[in-house]
Chain A
Amino acid sequence: MIDSAPRHPASAVAETADAARVRLVEALIRTGEEDRAAFRDLYSLTSAKLFGICYRICGERQAAEDVLHDVYLTIWKRAGAYEPARASPITWLATIARNRAIDWQRAQTVRRSTPIEDAPPILDTAPLVSETMLEDEASHQLHACLDSLEERQRAAIRTAFFDGVTYAELAEREAVPLGTMKSWVRRGLARLKACLEG
């Protein structure tokens, strides 16, 4: 999405990221004005990101495609309500995608108890500026605070976010009693909260 060569000086990379973000905000706002060309632009700018989200949570390609379809219909309908001051465009879009994928997943009668094998791995590191449209101080703070947690607490919270699973599924995956999983997550969240507010 962001066309930044690794050898670019940092300032040029940041400029590219800014330009991409501006382009995305414009595409989203014009989509809210029912501009089809802008909507197409929005799709080409964001579909890889949103498909990655749908695929990981749905765990199968056909379902991920159907959910992605549905996500963009939702975006078309709701784009007029997007407020640039409230959230970055990619955060707004990604939230819709995650929620819709979780909708789909929770509606299934047969639930996956193991993570899907062939989704691209999520690297447990703070993203490089060249890789993200979200980079800012808040991001550094969250990652620093997550790093302060016990490994199992951090892993449980990250899995809940990226795989969109419930407590019961999380406990099953780690083969621990539900109460134990709750204890890891709650103590981790309490520590995270103290760190984020500290």
Chain B
Amino acid sequence: MSDVPPSDVHDDDLPDMTAGEFALGLLDGDAGAAATRRVLAEPAFARSVEAWRLHFAQLFAQWPEMPAPDLFARIERSLHGSGAATVATLPVRTPSKLWPGIAALSSLAAAALLVVLFTRPLAVPPRPQAPATPRVVETGPTLVASITPTAKGAPVTVVYNAGAGSLRLTEASLADAKRTAELWVIPAGGTPHSLGLLAAHGGTALTLTAENRARITAGATLAVSLEPIGGSTTGLPTGPVVATGALSRV
């Protein structure tokens, strides 16, 4: 650090270490969004990110402990929704008026995604849809996700009703005049599948196909990308991913 730093270091001269940078959390803004999109669209990149995370996780052993306040009673009270006010003190939260308890489940974009990646094997190839064994969803659980914008903005709450195969989203202001917001599901270890386009104004209600219903499981990730009007034509996200969140059981 003593030598004079060169002022003309160009990215092109350096090795591409995006996966490692993303795993460390160094990237923000456009670079972070671009890397998030690669995690969603490129299984090899996602595996590389996970490998880095597993390596860096070794450093947790060095993290010094600190006597923690006894928050257990407060946490336990929150488990049944009575603690919503406490959770709301976090500036990152914008509790939904419709589903107050659900806000507590939200997590920010890449971080949430990485927990999913980190806890789920990525090496498993996407499971082929086996028509012989249709998944029974009629009695399945209600699932929720809070998909959090990578930039500013309030999280969008998503509720999946397994009985009806329907997905409801609160109002999202993620798109602009020239692009459409498209919702994707990324099953653990899988590739993105389009669930539909979000309404430009107000909430969105989507009825899912049987294939997509089978993909809506706890631990799967929902993501919103910006696509040309009418949606992606490639079957995969082509524009920036502007919000992600993990599905959880209510």
Chain A residues engaging chain B, CB cutoff 8 angstroms: 1, 36, 39-40, 43-44, 47-53, 55-56, 63, 65-70, 72-74, 76-78, 80-83, 86-87, 90-92, 94-96, 98-100, 102-104, 106-108, 119-125, 127, 131-135, 138-139, 142-143, 151-152, 155, 157-158, 160-162, 164-168, 170, 174, 176-177, 179-180, 182-183, 185-187, 189-190, 192-193, 196
Contacts and interface: CB of A to CB of B under 8 A. Distances in A.
Given A82-B119, A102-B25, A182-B14, A94 B63 contact: yes
B24 interface: yes
Interface in B146-163: none
B86 A66 contact: yes
B92 A103 contact: yes
Given A102-B25, A107-B91, A189-B21, A180 B5 contact: yes
A126 B9 CA distance: 33
A190 B248 CA distance: 36
B66 A70 contact: no
A127 B71 contact: no
Contacts of B108: 99, 102-103, 106-107
A161 B59 contact: yes
A131 B61 contact: yes
Given A70-B87, A72-B71, A134 B92 contact: no
Interface in B50-86: 53-69, 71-72, 74-76, 78-79, 83, 86
Given A99-B112, A107-B91, A142-B55, A166 B25 contact: yes
A134 B20 contact: no
A91 B66 contact: no
B218 interface: yes
Given A103-B111, A120-B64, A161-B59, A69 B87 contact: yes
B14 A186 contact: yes
Given A69-B75, A70-B104, A102-B111, A86 B121 contact: yes
A133 B111 CA distance: 23
Most buried by A among B21, B28, B75, B218: B75
A152 B3 CA distance: 11
A87 B25 contact: no
A51 B87 contact: no
A181 B150 CA distance: 24
Given A69-B75, A160-B24, A121 B64 contact: yes
B75 A72 contact: yes
Given A125-B62, A142-B58, 17 more contacts: A36-B76, A47-B72, A66-B90, A76-B75, A78-B115, A86-B121, A87-B57, A87-B119, A91-B60, A95-B53, A99-B112, A135-B61, A138-B54, A165-B26, A166-B27, A167-B21, A187-B15
A123 B26 contact: no
Given A40-B72, A51-B66, A166 B91 contact: no
A83 B158 CA distance: 26
Contact of A73 (B25, B53, B79, B120): B79
B176 interface: no
Most buried by A among B57, B61, B67, B92: B61
B158 to A, nearest CB: 15
A180 B9 CA distance: 6
Contacts of A104: 90-92
A86 B120 CA distance: 8
B208 interface: no
A36 B76 CA distance: 8
B237 interface: no
A74 B62 CA distance: 23
Contacts of B69: 51, 65, 68
A161 B94 CA distance: 27
B65 A73 contact: no
27 contacts: A43-B71, A48-B66, A48-B68, A52-B66, A56-B63, A65-B69, A65-B71, A68-B68, A70-B104, A73-B87, A81-B119, A81-B120, A91-B57, A91-B60, A94-B57, A119-B64, A131-B61, A142-B55, A157-B24, A160-B24, A160-B25, A166-B27, A179-B6, A179-B8, A182-B14, A185-B24, A190-B15
